[in-house]
Structures are given as structure tokens and as C-alpha cells.
Amino acid sequence: MLLIASGFSVAAEPEAAIAEAEQAVAAAEQAGPRGPAADALETARGQLQQARASLDKRRKRDAERFAQAAAANADLARNRARLDAARAEVDSRAARNADLRRRLLVTREGR
């Protein structure tokens, strides 16, 4: 009986799940995803549209599921974008360090 009640409460709040998914998509968009991260964001957008369409058709459980999937994919897109940015920063700093080492060696050899 508790399972039925909890399942009903989940399906009764698709609007909240859609709002959460919208926030997750917005956060992912701000992260500037590219490549696979952009693909995950596009998937999230499609799932968010499906959630809205399901809600319009009064299919609350489907709306909830699509919204949750959209939020998860948006989070994936945001985290992948952040990872890509961190990797780019590491690569940039490594290149700068290599350049400084090369300059330092040239300076020492010239003495």
C-alpha cells in the first residue's frame, strides 16, 4: 500500500520535475558544451519537450520520467563540459610550462 501511495505522489508532481529539468538544461547551456557534451544537452532538450508534451496529454508518469531523464542528461552535459574545460586548462598550462622550460634551457645554454 505504501508503494502505491509513493508511486502516486511521484506521478502527481511532474510540474516540479519539469521545472528541475528546465533548470538543469539552463545550467548545461551556460557551461558551453561541445562534442559529446552538446549531444547530451540536445538529448536533454528533446526529453524535456517530451515531458511537456506528456504533461499536456495528462500522462503524468511519462512526463515525470521524461523530465527526470532530461535532468540527468543535462547534468551529464554540464559535467562533461566542465571536464572538457578543465582538460583544456590543464593542456594550456602544460604547454605554457613546456615553453617556459624550453626558454629556461636556452637561456642557460647561452651563458
**Measured distance CA(9)–CA(6) in Å, rounded:** 5
Please check whether residue 106 lies inside any domain of the structure: no
Q: Which of 19, 15, 73, 78 is nearest to 46 (CA)?
A: 73
Whether 74 and 41 have beta carbons less than 8 Å apart is answered as yes
Provide the pLDDT for residue 105.
86
Please check whether residue 96 lies inside any domain of the structure: no
Tell me which residue range forms the domain holding 19: 2-85
**Measured distance CA(26)–CA(24) in Å, rounded:** 5
Please check whether residue 81 lies inside any domain of the structure: yes
pLDDT exceeds cutoff 50 at 14: yes
**What's the number of domains the chain is made of?**
1
Please check whether residue 100 lies inside any domain of the structure: no
Please check whether residue 99 lies inside any domain of the structure: no
Average pLDDT over residues 31-58: 96
- DSSP result, 37-82: HHHHHHHHHHHHHHHHHHHHTT-HHHHHHHHHHHHHHHHHHHHHHH
Please check whether residue 27 lies inside any domain of the structure: yes
Name the grid cell of 53: 508534451
Instruction: Please indicate, yes or no, whether the overall pTM of this predicted structure exceeds 0.85.
Output: no
Please check whether residue 67 lies inside any domain of the structure: yes
Provide the pLDDT for residue 12.
53
**Measured distance CA(67)–CA(47) in Å, rounded:** 7
Please check whether residue 16 lies inside any domain of the structure: yes
Tens-place pLDDT, residues 56-87: 999 999 999 999 999 999 999 999 999 999 99
